[in-house]
Structure 1
Amino acid sequence: MNTKSIDEAWEQLLDQLEALVGKRPADLNAVLFLIGVQELGKGPRRFSKEAKQDLMHIAVCRILSQSGYYTFDGYDNDGWPQWTMTKQIPHADLLSQETFLKEHVISYFQSELV
């Protein structure tokens, strides 16, 4: 995907999420949080700041698992998903990293919202 098509697909995804959850996610972090809550599978509830960071980490692991960067190991004693990095994520500048993550988020939702 080129940057323009990623940007267009990203805007469409934000529109879909707004229709689904009733509020348009503000940014990539908000979308990662939603994915983390979905992957945790315990439904909506209040999370501490640390738990929100953990949820975003779960989301990053999940979306990057599509490209083989992480492998799902199972759940810990508290029911939180555990992942192992299986290959190095390419180093890039901040904008390229964001585009890389957005592309994976778009792919995640294309497979999940079917």
Structure 2
Amino acid sequence: MDYAFEEQWGRLVQKMEDRFGEPPDLTTMIFTVGLQECGQGFRKFKKDEKLEVMHVGVCTLLTPMGFYRELGTDEDGWPHFERLGDIPAASKQEQELLMKRALVEYFGAWIAADHPG
């Protein structure tokens, strides 16, 4: 077991719960990344836009691992990505762990803000 990762994951979940008032699920956390990367502020999203926000979140999280490359933004401010390689086949549990590790990496500075060192 990776105790350092488990500790960081626990801190991230707690910080998000403190911020949003309830424990987040993985989908909510990925959506939060997408919202942050889209930079469109607080507004209502249509169903198809919510899917796009999720896609932006997933692509953003998988970019440092070499699966995607950011191409820039379109005229509406939406980020676009190019897929660079196939994500290896994995079980649902392995996919969740991959995304959790990516979330810990993405929010690393925020997690560490209250726990230096």
Quick one: distance in 1 between partners of 2:105 and 2:70? 18
1:108 aligns with: 106
Aligned alpha-carbon RMSD (Å): 1.8
Q: What's the CA shift for 1:71?
A: 0.4
Structure 2-normalised TM-score? 0.84
Q: Which runs of 4+ in 1 moved over 3 A?
A: 2-8
Per-residue CA deviation, residues 50-109 of structure 1 (Å, 9 max, x unaligned), is 211111110110011111111000111211000001121111011110111110111010
Unaligned stretches of 5+ residues in structure 2:
none
Q: How far did residue 8 of structure 1 move?
A: 3.5
The alignment partner of 2:71 has SS state of: strand
TM-score (norm 1): 0.86
1:66 partnered with 2:64: yes
Correspondences of 1:1-114 after superposition (within 5 Å): 2=1, 5-19=4-18, 21-111=19-109, 113=110
Gapped regions of structure 1 (runs ≥ 5):
none
| Aligned CA distance change for structure 1 residues 93 and 26 (closer, same or farther; 3 Å) | same
1:30 is displaced (CA, Å) by 0.2
Q: How many residues are matched?
A: 111
Report the AA paired with residue 106 of structure 1.
Answer: V
Query: Any conservation in 1 of the 2:16–2:24 contact (CA below 8 Å)?
Result: no
Percent identity, aligned pairs only, is 34
SS of aligned partner of 1:71: strand
Higher Rg: 2
Structure 2 Cα separation of the partners of residues 36 and 10 of structure 1: 19
Cα gap change, 1:25 to 1:92, in 2 (>3 Å): same
Provide Cα deviations, 1:22-57, integer angstroms capped at 9, x if missing partner. 323431000011111100001121112221111111
